[in-house]
Amino acid sequence: RSSKLGEIVNGERTKVYGSPSTFTTPYTVDRSKRRRFFYFLIEIDRTLTTMEEPDANRRRICNSCDRPKPMCLCHVLPADLIPTRTEIVILHHPHESRHKLNTTPLLAKSLRHVTRISGRRLRHRHISAGETSRSSPTIYLFPSSPSSPAVTISEFKSLNLLNHQGISNPPLRLIVFDATWKHAKEMVSASEEVLREAGAVRVCLDAGIDESVSGGSIYDSELVLRMEPFGGCVSTVEAVARCLGAIEPDGEEIERKLISVLKEMVRLQSEYLKPMKPRPKLLKKRFQNQQPVEEEEEGGMSF
Predicted local distance difference test score (pLDDT) of residue 54: 54
Judge contact between 162 and 198, C-beta under 8 A.
no
CA separation for the pair 142, 208 (Å, rounded): 10
Judge contact between 261 and 110, C-beta under 8 A.
yes
pTM, to two decimals: 0.66
pLDDT in tens, 74-116: 999 999 999 999 999 999 998 887 777 788 999 999 999 999 9
DSSP-assigned states of every residue in the chain: -HHHHHHHHHHHHHHHHS-TTS---HHHHHHHHHHHHHHHHHHHHHHHHHHHS--TTSPPB-TTT-SBGGG--TTTS-SSPBP-SEEEEEEE-HHHHT-TT--HHHHHHHBSSEEEEESSS--HHHHHSSSS-TTS-EEEE----SSS--EEHHHHHHHHHHHTTTSPPPPEEEEEEES-HHHHHHHHHHTHHHHHHTTPEEEE-SS--EEEEE--BSSSSSS-S-B-SEET---HHHHHHHHHHHHSTTHHHHHHHHHHHHHHHHHHHHTT----PPPPPP--HHHHTHHHHHHHHHTS---
Give the bridge partners for 114, in sequence order.
88
265: Cβ contacts below 8 Å, ≥ 6 apart: 71, 73, 103, 106
286: Cβ contacts below 8 Å, ≥ 6 apart: none
pLDDT in tens, 215-250: 444 444 443 455 555 555 788 898 999 999 988 989
Pick the range with the lowest mean pLDDT from 111-120, 210-219, 287-296: 210-219
Kindly tell me if the per-residue pLDDT of 270 is higher than 60. yes
Check residue 107 and give left, alpha or beta (phi > 0: left; psi -120 to 50: alpha). alpha
User: Per this entry, what is the length of the chain?
Assistant: 303
CA separation for the pair 161, 164 (Å, rounded): 5
Kindly tell me if the per-residue pLDDT of 66 is higher than 60. yes
CA separation for the pair 131, 145 (Å, rounded): 31
Q: Angle, nearest 10°, between helix axes 153-163 and 236-247? A: 30
Pick the range with the lowest mean pLDDT from 31-35, 70-74, 106-110: 31-35
